[in-house]
Structure 1
């Protein structure tokens, strides 16, 4: 059963501090231009990613859509297409269209625009809390808890102190830690990060947002959407053949189903896998769990996957 939120009108726009979260106060903080139109001024920037990070656009579009529905509704699914690469140095405008307001569900269409062209589109559905007599879920993987795993900083120090590790490997591992300003990890299999093999077909890691997100459960879903795009596409490379050099790896679409309430600033287990690749594409799926074993999200993504010529 969902966690009820305040009956006040929802507003993620230009609010004051929400517990010091960089994600909430900067990246997911949108300016309202006019009715159903919002602008994002901030982008997360990485030396490895020259375009806009896909999870950022998903999270920002979700915030924009959430501003147009009743606060007693919670997002339960979203389906996105990435149409063009976004410029991380320019603002993104989000246009929200009201497709339907029903008694139990509300549906919105969101377009993200840069330079007068759509770079992204999303259909998102919100659901009013209700009691269900049908309840089940699959079992969470048996993995170590995050408290028993090393932080990325500890892993990097351990790697630096290990004799014989090539500098190229150290640089690659260090590059994975660049997004520490928004989220932190506890890696179930850190060896695969240093030296993935042909048998590495899954990525399993604990993730949580840095900073206090606050008490609005809808914002926790927006933050989780932002986080869900990280490492998902990489499973297609691991599952196919790690020895093949990648020439292009980029998301085509992204889908999330939200099952139950959670906090994105608590540890969440990301269990990502890829079951198919071919014809220049790859398919990745994932389940996201809370530390106490509740399945709270399911994600899927298709990517462009091409070898380096």
Structure 2
């Protein structure tokens, strides 16, 4: 059996036991592990003997003969991704283990088993114990192979319907769960088909379109009440060396630490004397939820939604709380955040007093260029270059604090004007 460090890391990444470990820890384990092969009927370990370490089943099947203690004495069949031996919180399967087929084991020696231990959480890392809201919104329940269920949490952003960014982020998380850990999403294209109901779960079915050596492609269909409400296509790539250039400069903006938060800006509108009294009263009576994404507008505006302005916007953003080092998670969080204030800027030049309007996303695309951290500040630069008839196009760029272009975005939206905008849980058009 041919094995490489990448294939071993990919294998270890599928073990529930190791999900808490970082990619660097998995790499270290892959470097120090050894492979052992057994023929059918061979004893791998015997009860009460000194075991060399922890055995992970890479290929084949093994049988545990007569479990010790209070367990039933019936045999237990082990297969790929199972493990046994000593070194993980004491003994695991303290019994005879026999190969029932040709068996290949990855053996982590006893003196390296400390690599399986997560470090104690220091005071500075305590916030990692409780996932931040953005991460909880993206958490999915596994129902079956390639089938997942997501929920709209009570404190998640909603606008009378399932927020589009939630669909994008959860669908991407579902696709990511079916791809090798060494492959990371580099682009996605999604289509909003029906308005989602926030009161019922969303079922995500992942279709495995392609699994190549360096690329993988997935299609995800999100369903409610038997109908597909959203579809996402995503492409994943294994890390490869290549060319590197950037012909896009980050605009000079005030640092995010010097800017007011979205919540502070809303509070200031309540007391802004230049704004109409009825508008201030309306803002004061509305329940304003704290979003899981911290947004700092580069040019804070205290205009009403009835005031015309250019079709562009710049703001800094990051997830509230601390995320793990999993790059796949950071990209899912960015996908979630990317739709918070994006399509609606196309309405800015057309606002007028007494007008009720809405921007409904039709499609949404992202291209990830470089590694990023969703829990560190990024500058989101967006512009709507054109709108005609009922549709408008918005494009965007995200830069990290070093000025590196990390994400490019595009979205087409439907612009609607109405006396009263009410969500209808059916076709969007």
Band the TM-score falls in, shorter-chain normalisation: 0.7 to 0.9
Q: State the match for 2:227 in structure 1.
A: 117
Aligned to 2:299: 189
- Aligned counterpart, 2:255: 145
- Alpha-carbon distance between aligned partners in 1 of 2:245 and 2:235, rounded to the nearest angstrom: 21
Q: Give runs of aligned pairs for residues 57-96 of structure 1, distance below 5 A.
A: 57-96=167-206
Instruction: Give the Cα–Cα distance (whole angstroms) in 2 for the partners of residues 223 and 45 of structure 1.
Output: 16
Q: Secondary structure at 1:59's aligned position in 2?
A: helix
TM-score, length-scaled by structure 2: 0.64
Q: For 1:135 and 1:287, how far apart are their aligned partners in 2? A: 16
- Structure 2 match to 1:293: 403
Looking at structure 2, the residues matched to 248 and 179 of structure 1 have their Cα atoms a distance apart, in angstroms, of 20
Q: Tell me which of the two structures has the higher relative contact order, counting C-alpha pairs closer than 8 angstroms and 6 or more residues apart.
A: 1
Rounded Cα–Cα distance in structure 1 between residues aligned with 2:285 and 2:303: 11
Q: CA deviation at 1:165?
A: 3.2
Partner Cα separation in structure 2 for residue 177 and residue 292 of structure 1:
36
Alignment check: 8 A CA contact 2:397 2:408 kept? yes
Distance 1:67 1:18, change over 3 A: farther
Which of structures 1 and 2 has the bigger CA Rg?
A: 2
- The equivalent residue for 2:213 is 103
Deviations 1:187-225 (A, max 9, x none): 111126557754422111111111111110110000000
Distance in structure 2 (CA, Å) of the matches to 1:184 and 1:168: 28
| Structure 1 residue 145, shift from structure 2 partner | 1.1
Deviation at 1:155, TM superposition (A): 3.0
Determine the structure 1 residue equivalent to 2:385.
Answer: 275
> Structure 2: 5+ residue runs without aligned partners?
1-5, 21-127, 420-429
1:91-240 mapped onto 2 (5 Å cutoff) = 91-170=201-280, 178-191=288-301, 194=304, 197-238=307-348, 240=349
Does the 8 Å CA contact 1:137/1:295 hold for their aligned counterparts?
no
Q: Match for residue 21 of structure 1? A: 132
Q: Distance in 2 between matches of 1:107 and 1:122?
A: 11
Query: What is the Cα-based RMSD across aligned positions, in Å?
Result: 2.7
Give TM-score scaled by structure 1 length: 0.88
Contact preservation (8 Å) 1:75, 1:127: yes
- Aligned CA distance change for structure 1 residues 39 and 262 (closer, same or farther; 3 Å): same
**Structure 2 equivalent of residue 241 of structure 1:** 350
Residue deviations 1:107-138, cap 9 Å, x none? Answer: 00100000001000011000111111242230
Question: Residue 307 of structure 2 contacts residue 351 of structure 2 at CA under 8 Å; is this kept in 1?
Answer: yes
Task: Rate the CA distance shift 1:107–1:193 in 2: closer, same or farther, 3 A.
Answer: farther
**1:9 aligned onto 2:13:** yes
Cα separation, 1, equivalents of 2:392 and 2:263: 31
Does the 8 Å CA contact 2:193/2:228 hold for their aligned counterparts? yes
What CA distance in whole angstroms lies between the structure 1 residues aligned with 2:363 and 2:211?
25
In structure 1, the residue matched to 2:417 is 307
Deviation string 1:26-84 (CA, Å, 9 cap, x unpaired) is 21110000000000123466797111000000000000000000001110000000110
Write out per-residue CA displacement over residues 221-275 of structure 1, whole angstroms, 9 at most, x where no aligned residue.
Answer: 000000000111111101x422273444211110011111111111111111101
Deviation at 1:162, TM superposition (A): 3.5
Please give the alpha-carbon distance, in whole angstroms, between the structure 2 residues aligned to 1:214 and 1:138: 29
Supply the distance in 2 between the matched residues of 1:181 and 1:248 (Cα, whole angstroms): 20
Instruction: List alignment gaps of at least 5 residues for structure 1.
Output: none
Q: For residues 113 and 150 of structure 1, what CA distance do their matches in structure 2 show?
A: 38
What secondary structure sits across from 1:252 in the alignment?
Answer: strand
Kindly indicate whether residue 152 of structure 2 is the aligned counterpart of residue 42 of structure 1. yes
Work out whether residues 156 and 291 of structure 2, in 8 Å CA contact, stay in contact via their aligned partners in 1: no
Kept after mapping to 2: 8 A contact 1:44/1:53: no
Describe the shift of the 1:308–1:262 C-alpha distance in structure 2 as closer, same or farther (beyond 3 A): same
User: What's the secondary structure of 1:52's corresponding residue?
Assistant: coil
Aligned residues of 2:140 and 2:149 also touching (Cα < 8 A): yes
